[in-house]
Amino acid sequence: MLIYIIIIVGGILIDQLTKYAAILYLEPISQMPLIPNVFHLTYIENAGAAFGMMSGWQYFLIVFSFLTVGALCYVFFHTPRERRFIAVRLSLCFIISGAVGNLIDRLRFKYVVDFLDFRLIGFPIFNVADIFVVLGGLLLAYVLIKKPILIDVLIIAMQKPKKKKTSSSYVKTGRLEGLKKQRSRPIKKRRPDQKRNAERHKRPRKEPQVYTTIEDVTKRGRITFTPTPPSDTKKKSSKK
């Protein structure tokens, strides 16, 4: 992430420094040919979009630039940090740096400073920010042609971040997705420690000791019977 931020900030700084040099040195002389009739440095104030298009639509271009930069930043920060999306993130970095560079000029001067003039092919005069935007667009188009993954990026960026479920929510909803994921992972079998097993076998087993106590219980309510001689009445009845 830090590398991408450095690319964006570096692109903005390069664009602003070149424009500052153009204002400082080119504005008084208006033109400086480096290769005659091929490549010149020509100072102009562009009140339109890139390459002089939509001239005079400053307020519309400012609002449109803000919306474009915001949308690109949103997609950039929601793009997954995977290897297959590196080219997409780089292209977004170039486009964002170029769009921000021109937006700074529109907010400061209400026009954009252009100074790169290719006379050989009759190309419109442009600046460094336009180069970054074109490079980012070409890289993004190449990625789309080779690997159409921009749809995946937009789908992922538009998805809402999923909230982490707590243990109470698992119990309420009855969904044990987290536990299933943990169970689905392969369990590494640990090798038995042979030394510990050998020491356990060598140790003598201690038999459990049982302690018993016998208590004398005094017998209560014991009844003793003593034999008695039969009465006289019983003897008489027996004689009769």
C-beta neighbour count of 13 within 10 angstroms:
12
Point out the catalytic residue in the list 114, 152, 193, 216: 114
Distances (CA, A) of 91 to 39, 65, 197: 27, 17, 62
Residue 4 backbone phi and psi in degrees, to 5: -65, -40
Query: Alpha-carbon distance 201 to 218, whole Å?
Result: 50
Is residue 117 annotated as a catalytic residue, yes or no?
no
Is residue 105 annotated as a catalytic residue, yes or no?
no
Point out the catalytic residue in the list 130, 152, 216, 232: 130
Quick one: DSSP state of residue 126?
Answer: B
Sheet architecture: strand order including 112-118: 31-35, 39-46, 112-118
State in Å, rounded, how far the first CA of the chain is from the last one: 133
b/e code 110-145 from CB counts within 10 Å (16+ = b): eebbbbbbeeeeeeebbbbbbbbbbbbeebbeebee
Residues known to be catalytic: 114, 130
